[in-house]
Chain A
Amino acid sequence: MTIILGLEGTAWNLSAALVSEEKEIYETESTYKPLYGGIHPREAAQHHASELKGVVSRALGGAEKEGVSLRNIDAVAFSQGPGMGPCLRTVATAARALSLSLKIPLIGVNHCIAHIEIGRWRCGTKDPVVLYISGANSQVLAYRTGKYRILGETLDIGIGNALDKFARYLGLSHPGGPKIEELASKGTEYVHMPYVVKGMDLSFSGLSTAAKDAINLHHHKKEDICYSFQETAFSMLTEVTERAMAHLCKDEMLLAGGVGANKRLQQMLKTMCHDREARFYVPENKYLKDNGAMIAYLGLLMLKSGNTTPIDKSVVKPNYRPDEVEVTWREEEQN
């Protein structure tokens, strides 16, 4: 049995987990909550720095109760990027220290791909088109010949940031997505919003502005605008996902990333898949949001395929794109 300790802290959630081939052994987390506004990278990093010791100790203590001791850990994996620089550096420093003191390999993991791989693992989907949506990221990806290829993505801000921006305007606290979801469920009237799809790429910045204007200048009810915002943005996301599935002739799709927890979005994607006789997969919410288990799990796949990260190559990559990663752990599949 191989056991990996995974550390995640790219943004506001700090999490540590131990994972083996069979299961998640233990996971624990500590979440930074801004007093007002959005995530401040330096404050989030300070939160991570002060919580790291506690989170790692809790993870190790929890694993001990499951019969896993320090000696059993085969490697330490961490989120190398993408993410907020100060947060990434804090977590990377801890991972390097653990790797050196325990004399076990270090594995720098791409955060986006970790989301994909934990989803494939938990859902048992083999070769899906992936819709990966979080605060800063909105991408449609699929695997081909050694890499996850980006078929489409946002040309400006991520869907999560677009939601958060509008939520802040409404005076809702971070994270805004779930609060907008709740308001949207009470909306009844659809107000036209900018729908911007270019091939398989998307744009959300106009949507935030239009939503603000709809309230500020045109005095629409905020419930209706939350509803219209969601319906528009999620229709765009569903459309590009379907486009990618059609283009690649794939009949599986996997939803990944924190915004994926939105029930309305899940329902739309499920309907789209159903209507084209494809299968829709989404992992439990705890694996949609940022979590240490996914980092540990991708670390496990990488370790087993002989892919570790020497200390001098472990510098963080705030703009680390998933298509930069050589996928060493997947067998070639027929297209």
Chain B
Amino acid sequence: MNEERFQCAEAIVELKGGLVHKRRIEKRYRVKAIDKWIRKERTKSEAKLISEARRKGVPTPIIFDINDYEIVMERIEDDLAREVINGAISDKIGEFVGILHKNRIIHGDLTTSNIIMGRDNSIYFIDFGLSFIESSTEARGVDVHVFFQSLGGTHESSEQLRDAFIKGYMRTFPNASQVLKRVKEIEQRGRYVERK
């Protein structure tokens, strides 16, 4: 049996046979009240929305079990999209994000580390810990903005990847242009606010 164990930013992921055990770990830097609340809330909502996304046609791992801080789910083998992303993959990602948004699901942490390529070459979305249900243009805009930011921060040809994403996104999501307009506004928003 191949067993592996690695640590992400907020969880320990253990691979045991065909299963992934994702356990949100305690963070010593924050007080217990915040720590427990975040780990519980995120575990609960992650499990819920992973299943919800799947039902709507976006590939996510099948969930087998859940308790306070742990989700046991199907193991996807895999490359991180971060390592292999190209135009075609980014297009496909856009398509699936469009489906999520059409169904009011906001992923909340769309980075290329949270999208994986299965052996069958299909794309799986993981890490729904910051996901929530909302249908506002702003929430969708921020979701896409977060993805674009992750491209800009880590990939060479981020412009092409962005265009490919937009193509896919527009195919599946009727309100795409409204959201993309908002993304531009979010980018332009001067974060340096001068007091009047």
Contacts and interface: CB of A to CB of B under 8 A. Distances in A.
Contact of B149 (A40, A136, A200, A235): A200
Nearest to A265: B29
A268 B30 CA distance: 7
A332 to B, nearest CB: 13
A157 to B, nearest CB: 7
B165 to A, nearest CB: 15
A199 B146 contact: yes
Contacts of A157: 193
A269 B29 contact: yes
B153 A235 contact: no
Interface of A is mostly: mixed
B195 A144 contact: no
Interface stretch (B49-57, B58-66, B96-104, B107-115): B107-115
Contacts of B12: none
A82 B29 CA distance: 31
Interface string B175-196: 0000000000010011111110
A145 B146 contact: no
B153 A144 contact: yes
Interface in B54-104: none
Given A192-B37, A231-B30, A246 B152 contact: no
B195 A39 contact: yes
A41 B194 CA distance: 8
B34 to A, nearest CB: 5
A195 interface: yes
Contacts of A154: 191
B34 A232 contact: yes
26 contacts: A41-B195, A84-B194, A136-B192, A139-B191, A144-B153, A145-B156, A149-B153, A150-B153, A152-B149, A161-B193, A192-B33, A198-B142, A199-B111, A200-B149, A201-B142, A201-B145, A201-B146, A235-B29, A235-B30, A243-B9, A243-B10, A246-B9, A247-B154, A268-B30, A275-B27, A275-B29
A214 interface: no
Contacts of A246: 8-9, 113
Contact of B108 (A199, A269, A321): A199
Among A41, A139, A201, A245: residue with most chain B CB under 10 A:
A201
A242 interface: yes
A26 B27 CA distance: 42
Interface residues of A, number: 56
B152 to A, nearest CB: 6
Interface in A262-292: 267-269, 271-272, 275-276
A311 interface: no
A256 interface: no
Interface in A151-193: 151-155, 157-158, 161, 190, 192
Interface of B is mostly: loop
Given A235-B34, A247-B111, A142 B29 contact: no
Nearest to A82: B192
A238 B31 CA distance: 12
Interface of A: 38-41, 81-85, 136-137, 139, 142, 144-145, 149-155, 157-158, 161, 190, 192, 195, 197-201, 231-232, 235, 238-239, 242-243, 245-248, 267-269, 271-272, 275-276, 318-319, 321, 323, 335
B172 interface: no
Among B7, B38, B110, B195: residue with most chain A CB under 10 A:
B195
B146 A149 contact: no
A154 B189 CA distance: 11
Which 4 A-B residue pairs are closest in the complex by CB-CB distance?
A199-B146, A246-B9, A319-B190, A82-B192
Contacts of A245: 9
B45 interface: no
Among B9, B29, B30, B38: residue with most chain A CB under 10 A:
B29
Contacts of B111: 199, 247
Contacts of B119: none
A328 B106 CA distance: 38
A199 B34 contact: no
A149 B130 contact: no
Contacts of B33: 190, 192
Given A151-B149, A232-B34, A40 B108 contact: no
Given A238-B29, A246-B113, 16 more contacts: A40-B195, A84-B195, A150-B153, A152-B149, A153-B191, A158-B191, A161-B193, A190-B33, A197-B130, A198-B130, A198-B142, A201-B142, A235-B31, A239-B9, A268-B29, A335-B154
